[in-house]
Amino acid sequence: MTNIAAEDLSADRSKMTVGSQVAVEMIGVNKWYGEFHVLRDINLTVRKGERIVICGPSGSGKSTMIRCINRLEEHQKGQIIVDGTELTNDLKKIDEVRREVGMVFQHFNLFPHLTILENCTLAPIWVRKMPKRQAEEAAMEYLAKVRIPEQAHKYPGQLSGGQQQRVAIARSLCMNPKIMLFDEPTSALDPEMVKEVLDVMISLAESGMTMLCVTHEMGFARQVANRVIFMDQGQIVEQNDPEAFFTNPQHERTRLFLSQILH
Amino acid sequence: MTDVASPGPDARSAIYVRGTFVPPSPPPGSTVGPFGWAHKNLFSSPFNIAATILTALFLAWVVPPLLDWLIFDAVWTGENREACLPVDGREVGACWAWVQAKFGQILYGRYPLDQRWRVDLTALLFVAGLVPLAIPKVPYKRENTILMLTAFPVAAFILLYGGFGLPVVETALWGGLLVTLVVAVTGIVASLPLGILLALGRRSKLPIVKTVSVIFIEFWRGVPLITVLFMASVMLPLFLPSGVNFDKLLRALIGVALFSAAYMAETVRGGLQAIPKGQYEAAAAMGLGYWQSMRLVILPQALKIVIPGIVNSFISLFKDTSLVLIIGLFDVLGIIQLNFSDANWSAPTVPATGFVFAAIVFWIFCFGMSRYSQYMERRLETGHRR
């Protein structure tokens, strides 16, 4: 495991404030893939401005859990309420939630037939009905924030993995989301590119964004997260603030996991 | 063993630290230039040398007689069969004089002579609309496409068939390249959107839409085009109430369009399946609806992947238009064959000339489509497959 050490990441925690409003609420959420019980009785409340890091062994359901929040996966039991809207089969509600929730994927999932700029303006133009010029101006602003405005007219295939992931983050931000989901954003990157992506995520956290992040970058968790969640076998096993989580894990399964990924 | 030129120790010893980086240098001379090319591509191995020599011998054997027949011994002008008869033991190649004499028929069939300007005008409108569409740099693509899909078909119908003061020309009189192009263009234009809808339908999560699409596709793919045309021409009138009859060419058009739509659907489905799940998810996560994500994200990528397959279908559709002969419509090939029986032009090389000419006509159109599709593929390449 190549982890960026916490000391190599500089984050200003004083800028990250947690509000009192609830951003995401999961109550008794259960999900099955056929016979397989993949999420078991998940209860989780995320307040505005929280930065939550979710870790756990592969197959523990952590990706599935955050994919339920924007309904890329459907849950079969329990309630998920995102920014005041409950996710049901109502397609209108789903679209409403998806407009407010940004997602960054492990494999970037940029649209290869569109330029970087077009990738960023697609959803604002077609979903938010924003005029093209305004969308482009906003996109250039976000591309500047992730430090690649000069690549705006290239195609994703011409960029490195780290650059592509930063574009993916900018693309999500162009929709002005209230919540950002990250599904192992650095797992597919070469070690040299992990830090550039984490730096962008840190500045996002400093801007007060509500973030749920599935990652094994424990340095990032220490510096940015206000809560770390450990999942195994489809359930939340342990949840604590990062300091306590890393120095004094309570559950035996957590201790085993941490001993394997930290050295 | 240490190379004098490279500073520092050799990498083959256990401990090694590079002193300086090696700068890039040009490739060795033998791999570039015409000699380099010939050596690499024609004479690189004993097998390659043998293949090169055999190919050269084969060409020397085939090409001269072919050129003699097509050009040097060919008859270029003449009023009737006399010109193309091998009298006094002279060698007679292709009878191009016959093609010249029959050229009007090959283009228009039995379309009345004094009305043929209408066909010319339609062709002119078609080219004027298509060329700016085909050249990427020309603006107003959207407006042009809408015109070509709405105004042009109406104008073409009135011009070719009649109405609004123009005398009606029954489709039974249409023929030659006119029929070939009408059937092929209608089939191509109708089959692509229909095929896309069927492909989406086959992948739909809605069971009814999916079942209808599957049944439609499998039915039309399961029957030969000849059967379809035959059914449309002979069987369909039996099921229609007496007095109700619609045009034979129209029936053929519908049959060809539905038939090729089924093939197109499977081609497009191949492209849809090649798009990674992440693309669908990214589009959904951004709040794009089903039709938006298909139109903006999935189909542009999927169709690009299957351009070779789509054009393959177009080309085979273009050539299949010849089959309308069996329901009594005369396309290029049909009209050429029909003219073999003209006693004024009965000469030994006329049939061969006719078939070669038909082949040339088909080849020009098919090769044109093929080249254009390759050009589009290169143009749409955005380098994501590196």
Instruction: Give A214-246 pLDDT, tens digit per residue.
Output: 999 999 999 999 999 999 999 999 999 999 999
A175 touches chain B (CB under 8 A): yes
Say whether residue A132 is in contact with chain B using an 8 A CB cutoff: no
Chain B residues touching residue A107 (CB < 8 angstroms): 276, 278
Separation in Å, CA of A172 to nearest CA in chain B: 7
Contacts of A15 (CB under 8 A, 6+ apart): A206, A207, A208
Q: What is the CA radius of gyration of chain A?
A: 18
Q: Please tell me the distance from the alpha carbon of residue A15 to that of residue A223, in angstroms, as a whole number.
A: 12
Return residue ranges of chain B for CATH 1.10.3720.10. 106-111+169-380
Residue B216 has pLDDT above 90, yes or no: yes
Check residue B3 and give its pLDDT: 47
Q: How far is B285 from chain A (nearest CA, A)?
A: 6
How far apart are alpha carbons B344 and B348 in whole angstroms? 13
> Helix B116-134 and helix B151-161: axis angle, to 10°?
160
pLDDT reading at B238 higher than 80: no
- Which of A191, A204, A26 has its CA nearest to residue A104? A204
In whole angstroms, give the CA distance from residue A107 to residue B9: 42
Cα distance between residue B272 and residue A140, in whole Å: 31
Does residue A15 carry a pLDDT above 60? yes
- B295 contacts in A (CB within 8 Å)? none
Tell me how crowded residue B231 is: count the other CB atoms within 10 A of its CB.
15
Q: Which residues of B touch A103 (CB under 8 A)?
A: 282, 285
Task: Kindly list the distances between the CA atom of residue B270 and the CA atoms of B220, B299, B301, in Å, as whole numbers in the listed order.
Answer: 18, 11, 12
Pick from B281, B301, B384: which is nearest to A72 by CB?
A: B281
Q: What is the DSSP code (8-state) at residue B11?
A: T
- Cα–Cα distances in angstroms (integers) from residue A213 to residues A51, A209, B110, in the given order: 8, 12, 74
Give tens-digit pLDDT for B311-328. Answer: 999 999 999 888 988 888
Chain A CB contacts of B302 below 8 Å: none
Mutate which: B280, B286, B377, vs A, most A CBs within 10 A? B286
Min CA distance, A157 vs chain B (Å)?
4
- Is residue B194 within 8 Å of residue B260, measured between CB atoms? no
Strand partners, B95: B75
Specify the range with the lowest mean pLDDT, choosing from A22-31, A150-159, B84-93. Answer: B84-93
What span, in angstroms and rounded, lies between the C-alpha atoms of B272 and A160? 26
Answer whether A194's CB lies under 8 Å from A218's CB: no
User: Per the CB < 8 Å rule, is A171 touching B297?
Assistant: no
Which chain B residues are Cβ-neighbours of A122 within 8 angstroms? 286, 288, 296-297
Which one-letter amino acid corresponds to residue B192? L
Query: What's the first-to-final CA gap in chain A, in angstroms?
Result: 9
CB contact under 8 A, A111 and B281: no
Interface of B with A in 285-304 (CB under 8 A): 285-289, 292, 296-297, 300-301, 304
Q: What's the per-residue H, E or C state across B200-212?
A: HHHCCCCHHHHHH
Phi-psi category of B163—alpha, beta or left, where left has phi over 0 and alpha has psi -120 to 50?
A: left
Class of domain B106-111+169-380: mainly alpha
DSSP B174: B
- The pLDDT tens digits for B51-81 are 999 999 999 999 999 998 898 888 888 888 8
Which helix (H) or strand (E) segment holds residue A170: the answer is helix A161-173
| pTM for the structure as a whole | 0.84
Name the nearest CA neighbour of A175 among A213, A129, A123, A134: A123
Residue B284 to chain A, least CA–CA distance (Å): 8
pLDDT of amino acid B37: 82
Task: Tell me the C-alpha distance between A105 and A184, whole Å.
Answer: 7
* B282 interfacial to chain A (CB closer than 8 Å): yes
Under 8 Å CB pairs connecting chains A and B tally to 69
- Residues B239-275 have pLDDT tens digits of 777 766 678 888 888 889 999 999 999 999 999 999 9
For residue B386, the model assigns a pLDDT of 38
Task: Return the residue of A nearest to B302 by Cα.
Answer: A113
